[in-house]
Amino acid sequence: MGKFSTYRYLELKDDTSAPHINVRSRTIKHPRRLKKVFIFLIVLALFVTYFLGLFAGQSQWLDGLAKSLGYESVFHHAVIIDAGSSGSRVLAYKFRVPFTVFGQANLDLVDEYFEQSKPGLSSYADDPEKGADTIVQLIKKAEFLTPPERRRATPLIVRATAGLRLLPADKAQLLIDTVAKAIAKLGYDVGSDGVKIMDGSDEGIFIWYTVNLLHNLMDGNTMAALDLGGGSTQITFQLSPADTPHYPAADQYVVPAGTNVTLYTHSYLNLGLLAARYGVFRLEADDNDTDEFTSVCVDPIVQREPWTYANKNYVVSGAHRPPGLKRTAAYQQCHLVVRRYVRATLDWEPRRAPLGQVAAMSYFYDVAADAGLIDVMKGGTVSVSAYRASAVRACSAANVEQPWACLDLVYVLALLQDAYKIADDEPISLFKKVNGHEVSWALGLAYTTVMNKIVITP
User: What is the identity of the amino acid at 438?
Assistant: E
Which residue among the candidates 112, 203, 284, 438 is catalytic per the annotation?
203
- For residue 248, the SS3 value is coil
User: What is the identity of the amino acid at 28?
Assistant: I
End-to-end CA separation in angstroms for the chain:
29
Identify the sign of the CA torsion 181, 183, 186, 189: negative
230 labelled as ligand-binding? yes
Q: Give the DSSP H/E element, type plus range, for residue 259.
A: strand 259-269
60 labelled as ligand-binding? no
Distance CA 288, CA 281 (A): 10
- Scored b (16 or more CB within 10 A) or e, 198-218 reads bbbbbbbbbbbbbbbbbbebb
Task: Give the DSSP letter string of 101-157.
Answer: SSS----EEEEEEEEEESS-GGGGTT-HHHHHHHHHHHHHHHGGGS-GGGGGGSBEE
72 tagged catalytic? no
- For residue 90, the SS3 value is strand
Distance CA 438, CA 148 (A): 24
70 labelled as ligand-binding? no
Helices 441-456 & 200-214 angle (0-180, nearest 10): 90
Helices 405-414 & 384-395 angle (0-180, nearest 10): 150
Distance CA 172, CA 186 (A): 22
231 labelled as ligand-binding? yes
Asked if residues 236 and 211 have their Cβ atoms less than 8 Å apart, the reply is no
Distance CA 382, CA 158 (A): 33
- The radius of gyration computed from the CA coordinates of the chain, to the nearest angstrom, equals 26
- For residue 301, the SS3 value is coil
Distance CA 92, CA 80 (A): 6
233 labelled as ligand-binding? yes
- For residue 91, the SS3 value is strand
Residues designated as active site: 203
Residues annotated within the binding site for ATP are 230-234
Residues annotated within the binding site are 230-234
